[in-house]
A and B are shown apart, each in its own frame.
Chain A
């Protein structure tokens, strides 16, 4: 505290600083990094010391397909979230009225309603006694198609669950764009869409990158929604981990899958960090 009050912010009285920072950093090292290290250890020692789990994961086509399917699904979800999230964030950032407040409450509410609750909602909506099926029958199209427990329901559910993250990432950047730039462009003769395309859109790109990085990496390891809404036919990584543990008690193999998932996430965020700076991701 005292050190911080001097005019020179680079003052280093080490003691105070470390007293402030050390508890949190130690907590994370001892109570977070150590458990993750344990997963790493388990992946090469359970049941015997070997790299067999990794070899299996990359050579057996079934498992390689799970990895490919996970990336494909995450890409679809990310694009869907971007297309849906952009107009909403745009309106939230550009307006200052009651509509903007309503949207902020809607996004905040869906952000803080747990994944399980929102996934459960889709079980009702897409279920064979749900509103979609009822509308289908009412329209006279006969028996509704199987919607639940398909890769469609899983993708739709994940898009719904992750959309608020995209909207908040976009909104965070868009809110800082000075509205006078748009007025200047229009004043200089640009049509509204031209002003958007040449001024607003480029300035909002950092938000697009943030949102996509956030949603894509969250989607890669997403557990709840694919397990409740998905199908074993188009498994995602998390479903494979759950299956290995619950059905086969294969902790070693499950740990190896988890390590690969962690590596994919860290590589992607590392790339993001090089180009954009990781500390901005949750800003």
Chain B
């Protein structure tokens, strides 16, 4: 019995983690207007409402546009930075490494207040550009960490082999380095995307009406009117996350299997 104690505890904790997320699924098909569990009846009316609501669809579109935009921006700066930090030595490296991590160290409320002030000076509060700037800076550390970890595990002999076989530096990079690192870069990109997609606090402060994303819209709906469509959105988001986790598991598993 005592031998199984850790496993039993682990299952209980796993259920504690996942049960609240699962409970939202039947709620999204509930016919009740308020939070009632178990639901008194089932229908798909709130799904219809979601897919015909201009405000919810706009928030969904904004979420995708902003998360995609910031993913591209984040990768463009985090990928070279990871190469710089992993492969080179330079003055003040450990201090700059700390600077790179600041966006995840500083509490989100503090960043949110800062962005509100800063972006209103530039006239960018409530715009997609403002949101993309803020969200991409906030996800730089996430992408940077994932790509750096992949780069640290990279076998430099592969590059040496390519170079000694006559490939130039650019050719080596495009045909050897990038393809080997691709899973790590893709996971970094996925994490950056999800990070911006889920970010709520900064969005609440700076997204305004026009650039409102799903987390902001949900937060406001919960506080103001408890729109039952929230359950629908939550269910769709949870489904998307499950898909994302399975995809990243697939990419992470592959390099281990290959060696």
Contacts and interface: CB of A to CB of B under 8 A. Distances in A.
Interface string B80-91: 110111011110
A222 B234 CA distance: 21
Interface in A261-282: 261-262, 265-266, 269, 278-279, 282
B37 A110 contact: no
Contacts of A27: 77, 137, 140
Contact of B200 (A91, A164, A224, A238): A224
A24 B200 contact: no
A31 B231 CA distance: 35
Contacts, number: 286
Nearest to B248: A108
A117 B102 contact: no
Chain B interface residue count: which class?
A: 35 or more
A3 B88 contact: yes
B249 interface: yes
Given A20-B88, A116-B222, A35 B117 contact: yes
A4 interface: yes
Interface in A16-63: 16-21, 23-25, 27-29, 31-39, 42
Contacts of A104: 249
A223 B111 CA distance: 12
B17 A19 contact: no
Nearest to A164: B17
Nearest to B201: A223
A21 B109 contact: no
B111 A32 contact: yes
Contacts of B107: 217-218, 220-223, 238, 258, 261-262, 265
Contacts of B14: 88, 102-103, 106-107
A5 B21 contact: no
Given A99-B7, A103-B10, A113-B241, A21 B80 contact: yes
B180 to A, nearest CB: 14
Given A25-B81, A115-B200, A107 B17 contact: yes
Interface in A115-152: 115-125, 127, 129-131, 134
A162 B69 CA distance: 27
A38 B111 CA distance: 10
A112 B241 contact: yes
Contacts of B57: none
B23 interface: yes
Given A27-B140, A38-B118, A121-B20, A278 B77 contact: no
Contact of A221 (B32, B83, B110, B145): B110
Nearest to B36: A129
A118 B20 contact: yes
A251 B205 CA distance: 12
B38 A262 contact: no
A227 B20 CA distance: 19
B13 interface: yes
Interface in B68-127: 76-78, 80-81, 83-85, 87-90, 94, 96-115, 117-119, 121
A42 B117 CA distance: 9
Contacts of B242: 105, 109
Interface in A73-121: 84-85, 87-88, 90-92, 94, 99, 101-110, 112-121
Given A17-B88, A21-B84, A124-B24, 12 more contacts: A5-B159, A10-B89, A21-B81, A36-B111, A84-B13, A87-B13, A163-B17, A223-B201, A224-B219, A265-B105, A266-B105, A282-B104
Interface of B: 2-3, 6-7, 9-10, 13-14, 16-18, 20-21, 23-24, 27, 32, 34-38, 76-78, 80-81, 83-85, 87-90, 94, 96-115, 117-119, 121, 133-134, 137, 140-141, 144-145, 149, 156, 159-160, 163, 169, 172-173, 194, 197-198, 200-201, 204, 215, 218-219, 222-223, 230-231, 234, 237-238, 241-242, 244-246, 248-249
